Amino acid sequence: METWDAIRARRNVRTYRPEPVPQRDLERIAEAAWRAPSARNQQHWDFVIVTDRQQLTELSTVWRGAGHIASAAAAIALVVPEPPDERTKLIDQYDLGQATLAMTLAATDLGIGTGHSSVGDQEKARAILGVPENHVVSYLLGIGYPADRPLRPIATPDRRPFDEVVHRGRW
């Protein structure tokens, strides 16, 4: 798939077919995160690939919007160290956003759907994943083949009108 087509086809997938995603594809998706831009190239992030059904089911309970993780073929947890200050926290979260988008586009290119989730219960998420206490499990990305329809460029996305969102020169 061309990059522009992947951008136009990417959508949040919350229901997945039961078949597994090949390990090589999961590694490619994780590599996209690893290659994402990072402020001053600090790369404070770590990524945990989860394919164990029991872990996925448990992870689906760490946030009210994480239910889709239980039926995903895999998930990737995005982890950063506890930030020492607000500036580092903001930079790390921005970097994780870029890593997330890179993963979603890489997955879309492979015909694989993704759905992101926050993490509310840090203690539980760290226990499930074996993450040290001085780290934050910031987000989860569910990964799997879409159950409803394949990923194809969306001609008319459900978005605010382009000219209402994009300003030229001034607000």
Query: What integer pLDDT is reported at residue 117 of this predicted model?
Result: 97
CA dihedral (95, 101, 106, 107) positive or negative: positive
CA distances to 7, 58, 80 from 34, rounded to whole Å, are: 19, 25, 13
Task: Answer yes or no: are the C-beta atoms of 103 and 58 closer than 8 Å.
Answer: no
What digits encode the pLDDT tens for the residues 39-57?
Answer: 999 999 999 999 999 999 9
Topology of the domain comprising 3-148: NADH Oxidase (3.40.109)
Domain assignments of the chain as residue spans, ordered by start: 3-148
Backbone angles phi, psi at 24, to 5 degrees: -65, -35
Q: Tell me how far apart the alpha carbons of residues 66 and 68 are, in angstroms, rounded to a whole number.
A: 5
CB-count exposure of residue 119 (10 Å: 0-12, 13-18, 19+)? buried
Is the per-residue pLDDT at 80 higher than 90?
A: yes
Query: What integer pLDDT is reported at residue 142 of this predicted model?
Result: 98
Query: What integer pLDDT is reported at residue 124 of this predicted model?
Result: 98
Task: Answer yes or no: are the C-beta atoms of 78 and 47 closer than 8 Å.
Answer: yes
Query: What integer pLDDT is reported at residue 78 of this predicted model?
Result: 98
What digits encode the pLDDT tens for the residues 83-126?
Answer: 999 999 999 999 999 999 999 999 999 999 999 999 999 999 99
What digits encode the pLDDT tens for the residues 55-70?
Answer: 999 999 999 999 999 9
**Residues belonging to the chain:** 171
Q: What is the mean pLDDT of residues 127-148?
A: 98
CA dihedral (143, 145, 149, 152) positive or negative: positive
Residue 21 is given by DSSP the state P
For the chain, percent of residues with pLDDT exceeding 90 = 99
Backbone angles phi, psi at 139, to 5 degrees: -145, 160
Average pLDDT, rounded, for the chain = 97
